[in-house]
Chains A and B, each alone.
Chain A
Amino acid sequence: MELRKTTVREAAEEVCSGRISAYRLIEMTLNNCAVLNEGLNIFNSIAGIDALEQAKAVDRQIADGERPPLAGIPVAVKDDICYGVLPTGFGSAAFREFFSPYTATVVERLMDKGAIVIGKTNLDEMSLGSTTLSSPSGPTLNPRDSDRLSGSAGAAAVATGVCMVALESDSGGALRQGASHCGVVGLRPTTGRVSRHGLNAFSSSFGQIGITAASGENINSVLKIISGFDENDASTARPGDEPPLQGDVPDSMDLKIGYPAAAFDYLEPALREVFEQARDEYAARGFRFIDLELNYLAEALQAYYVIALAETSSNHSRFDGIRFGETEKAGDLEALYSRSRSRILGREGRRSSVFGAFLLSKGNYDRYYRQALKVWSLVKREFAGALTKCDLLMLPAVKSLPRPVSGETELLDSWTDDLYCAPVSLSGLPAISLPAGQAGSLPVGLQLVGPPFSEEMLAAVCDRVVPEINIFPHGNV
């Protein structure tokens, strides 16, 4: 069985029917992991024997007559999502050996249905970024072009076919941009659709767990298992808040896509051309486009950073060397905190904490933070208003092609990469990043943004316009 040509549902059926055992499937996956990890640096840790033990347990369940819907499906989990069996490093050198005392709800729900965690994927320091450049383990390379960054390691894992599904966090767009850079599909769900219990989010308002996979169908297979109310996360939607899972997706002819043409002006010509072609292809498939305006994209990005940095400074205060992180020896308590925190937080973490504290300080709070909250409200209303005129919004997923592995990137250049993703995070709406075409040999993705809880429709539209995704079985290394 070739994982890259099989859907999650088909693979699970193969395992349940006994044509391949979960053990054998995971054994093959782990072999691929080891090979690919050498070249691309996808995983911070690989489950090995633990994954094989889980696979044996799934085989026993099947022998007992059960048919778990995700039987034997290999899943990668980003290293900022807690999983008790493997270290959860948060992208910090200080947490390399940290074993979380509990497992995130989303991971537990997948494992309950037969999925098997094969490893924890690489990430930027404390998830602060969408390149993996600040990871203590070094950057993850792009399977399509190993001289470039993948954006997210989970997307690289899916793009190489080493696993069928990756669970990743997405605050300003790391998941969606990674999916774009690696030519796969990434879903950021509606805020509240999926539990965040067990996610070490630097930004409480925007951090969300999403799914990366090779098709909309695979995303739906996982979403229906991980979504729903969680008593450990008060921000999850309660039963009744979510509309029932949608059946057939409306015909293309019945779907109107809002196209904010001015938003595409920020792009370099090569990328703009890709999106114009994509728009033509969508129109040829029967989708109708309407022009609309999004007036606050740039300001939304700025508001995102003000709020996210402020929240980071607060959230990272827990890393004090006593409650979390290793304690450094010092003569007094103040020095103990300072030394421990400076070791736990790397350059990115220290910068975000200092910036955030500055923005929250007296005299700056109203000017920056409160204003950002008001802009957030305007952005949310603007997106909601736009979706009263159309069924979906189309936006680029990325502002530029994946960055080269070598070379310095200015701070603000790196942050403006989130131009199209961060505003959607502010809106709280679901967005799917899917391949739009290629610029040269590199994939470029676009985002479709839908109304609250419309993930199933987004995934179905994705499969309609991108019937097959080219998986690189061994990466381009």
Chain B
Amino acid sequence: MLKYLQAWTPETGKKLSLRNPGRRFLPLFTEFMPVAAARFTNETEKRVIFLPDPINGLDRTIRIMKLEVDTPEQEKLEQELQGFLQWVEPMLAVNTGEAGQVLVNHDAVNVLREDRADQGELADLQEAAPEFAGGFYLVPPVIE
């Protein structure tokens, strides 16, 4: 589970990617061990650490995807995901040392379309917003 750790310190803006954390990073790792399940923010330390979702807990992934899933469906999803991850194991073992860039069969050229501003119908846009006041859309004051 802990093949990858990433630590970020806002003061320095330093970002560390740690593969198979060894002795050098052990103190950092153990420091956050009790809260390592998903995401930890400590105002005093001002450090954030991200860890992969454990397979048996898809709460965060479901929340990120902005979905509502009931408990039986979530349990089923976790079970299916577990099976899927086992199923793709042979692919992980493929030696990709010689794999190069994925090429297309022809030279694709990005075609830029004309940049046209289209405000649409304001009334239609406002209808989609949950709250609207004084010419502004109202959004939650804090975005996670």
Contact = CB atoms under 8 A, between A and B. Distances in A.
B105 A191 contact: yes
B3 interface: yes
Contact of B90 (A299, A334, A336, A347): A299
A342 B88 contact: no
Interface string B89-120: 01110101011111111111111010000000
A351 B6 CA distance: 27
A361 interface: yes
22 contacts: A232-B113, A235-B104, A238-B107, A303-B91, A305-B88, A332-B140, A338-B66, A350-B73, A354-B61, A354-B69, A357-B64, A358-B81, A371-B91, A374-B94, A375-B96, A377-B99, A377-B103, A378-B98, A380-B103, A412-B87, A452-B105, A452-B106
Nearest to A451: B105
Q: Is the interface of B mostly helix, strand, loop or mixed?
A: loop
4 residue pairs, one from A and one from B, having the closest CB atoms: A363-B52, A374-B96, A241-B106, A374-B99
Given A231-B111, A377-B101, A362 B4 contact: yes
Given A299-B91, A347-B73, A354-B61, A411 B80 contact: yes
A375 B94 contact: yes
B128 interface: yes
Interface string A179-190: 000000000001
Contacts of B102: 373, 376-377, 380
Interface in B103-144: 103-111, 113, 127-130, 139-140
Contacts of A411: 80, 83-84
Given A351-B77, A364-B53, 5 more contacts: A305-B84, A353-B67, A354-B77, A363-B3, A372-B91
A351 B3 contact: no
A378 B95 CA distance: 10
Interface string B64-84: 111111000100010011011
B62 interface: yes
B40 interface: no
B92 A378 contact: no
